Amino acid sequence: MTDPYLRVENVVKKFGPFIALNGVNLEVYPGEVHALLGDNGAGKSTLIKTLAGVHRPTSGQLYIEGKPVDFRNPRDASDAGIGTVYQDLAVNQLMSVTRNFFMGRELKGPLGTLKMDVMDKIAHDEMLKIGIDFSDPTQAVGTMSGGQRQTLAIARAIYFGAKVLILDEPTSALGQKQQMEVLKTVKRVRKRGDIAIIFITHNEIHSQLVADRYTFLALGQVIGAGKAGELSHDEIRRLMAGGAEMKDLEGELAAI
């Protein structure tokens, strides 16, 4: 087994008296999909924002390739190879695929003119690498399917150096066909072998289709973890719902 690219050690995040993360541990390996699951309020959003440099841990430590890091802002996290694709995708539907791909990082010539031909080719080729073939990178993003937009955001993150790709609910609000497009893209990225993927989802079926490892959060704490082959479908559902708390609820319902 290779060493983890990213390691989270005893991370605590407090907002005043509220403890959002309470001693979280996590290891993320290249060439694997690590599903991060939990109900609303479990701490998933706080954790990924901590990994992305939006929040700084109150205590604990993050490591990249075994070396301690301190992300003071999202740029620090990006420079360390953390690429985050949020649910809103950060795309402008009126702009072209290429302009979205290079948003804020445009390639310019000596007189400041944009190298559109070069950028068009890069955008086309990078999306083709992970499974989306389209003939016109000048088309507006608003004409693409939801699954294609997700692929655009993923390809953009990888091209600009992501070694850990954080996908925040990438299949939510999509139809079944588009969900499958996204899951296929995730599997293609995993197949590269050099990128670690953190896959946040509320859909246990989707997690089981792509995940190699699991970590389950509840009330800011890790309540379970394991490899895909070690966890049954029922165990995954139970841990997603909060572990022992779910067992108590099932017992109450069975007694009615």
6-254 falls under which CATH superfamily? P-loop containing nucleotide triphosphate hydrolases (3.40.50.300)
Confidence (pLDDT) at 1: 53
**pLDDT of 75 strictly over 70:** yes
pLDDT at residue 111, rounded to an integer: 85
- 8 A C-beta contact, residue 25 and residue 226: no
Q: Write the Ramachandran bin of 199: left for phi over 0, alpha for psi from -120 to 50, otherwise beta.
A: beta
Task: Flag whether pLDDT at 136 surpasses 70.
Answer: yes
Q: Which tokens belong to 197?
A: 């993927």
Strand order through the sheet with 59-64:
18-28, 6-15, 59-64, 67-69
Helices (H), the chain: 44-51, 74-79, 97-101, 116-129, 146-159, 176-192, 204-210, 233-240, 244-254
Encode pLDDT of 193-218 as tens digits.
Answer: 999 999 998 888 899 999 999 999 99
Q: Give the pLDDT confidence of 151-186 residue by residue, as tens digits.
A: 899 999 999 999 999 999 988 878 888 899 899 999
Roughly what angle, to the nearest 10 degrees, separates helices 146-159 and 116-129?
Answer: 110
* pLDDT computed for residue 147 by the predictor: 85
The answer on pLDDT for 248 being more than 90 is no
Q: With 90 as the cut, is the pLDDT of residue 245 above it?
A: no
pLDDT of residue 249: 46
Q: In the chain, where are the structural domains located? A: 6-254
Q: How confident is the model at residue 247 (pLDDT cuts 50, 70, 90)?
A: low
What's the confidence (pLDDT) of residue 88? 76
Residue-level pLDDT at 246: 45
Mean pLDDT computed over 241-251: 56
Contacts 24+ apart (CB under 8 A), 238-244: 239/37, 239/214, 240/37, 240/38, 240/39, 240/202, 240/204, 240/216, 241/39, 242/38, 242/39, 242/42, 242/218, 243/216, 243/218
